[in-house]
């Protein structure tokens, strides 16, 4: 009997904002443990967004989204979803086959998947001024990928 090669999947995980705020590194290691238990090969895991939810989920009004690409056997998906449903850190998860993803897209996603900077910013979050300085330094180094420091949009010149 021949073994079926693992399939590429895309997973969106909504994490509890309070758990992420208290220990971001622990939340990331928890997500990695879920993939290890399912014997899935984690290709890319990155922060997608942090935002207000449309409606409260488990009493939470805000959520932290993690986007992950991984290779796994089809029967491993049930285990990943079960672990997410039993967890207090993961509010929701959605896993889809990523047949649409080519190697170029995976390489680009891996390039943007630097969660170590996010971990450093979260750890420095106790000192708001220090975190703002780090965000500003990232903005100067790479203004396209930099996190927004304020909700204001830049003003544009009006032409008559």
Domains of the chain plus CATH, in order, are: 7-113 (3.30.70.60), 114-146 (no CATH)
Cα–Cα nearest to 73, from 148, 6, 13, 10: 6
Per-residue pLDDT of the chain (160 residues; tens, 9 = 90+): 458 888 999 999 999 999 898 888 899 999 999 999 999 999 989 888 899 999 999 999 999 999 999 999 989 999 999 999 999 999 999 999 988 877 777 777 777 666 655 565 556 665 544 444 444 444 444 444 444 444 444 455 555 4
């Amino acid at each position: 009997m021949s073994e079926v090669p693992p399939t590429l999947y895309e997973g969106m995980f909504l994490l509890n904002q309070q758990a992420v705020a208290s220990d971001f590194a622990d939340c990331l290691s928890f997500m990695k443990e879920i993939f290890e238990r399912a014997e899935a090969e984690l290709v890319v895991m990155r922060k997608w967004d942090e935002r207000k939810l449309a409606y409260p989920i488990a009493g939470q009004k805000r959520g932290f989204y993690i986007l992950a690409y991984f290779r796994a056997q089809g029967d491993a998906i049930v285990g990943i979803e079960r672990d997410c449903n039993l967890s207090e850190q993961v509010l929701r998860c959605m896993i889809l086959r990523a047949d649409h993803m080519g190697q170029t897209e995976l390489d680009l996603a891996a390039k943007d998947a630097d969660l170590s900077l996010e971990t450093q910013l979260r750890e420095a979050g106790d000192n708001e001024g220090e975190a703002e300085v780090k965000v500003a330094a990232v903005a100067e180094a790479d203004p396209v990928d930099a996190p927004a420091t304020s909700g204001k949009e830049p003003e544009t010149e009006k032409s008559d």
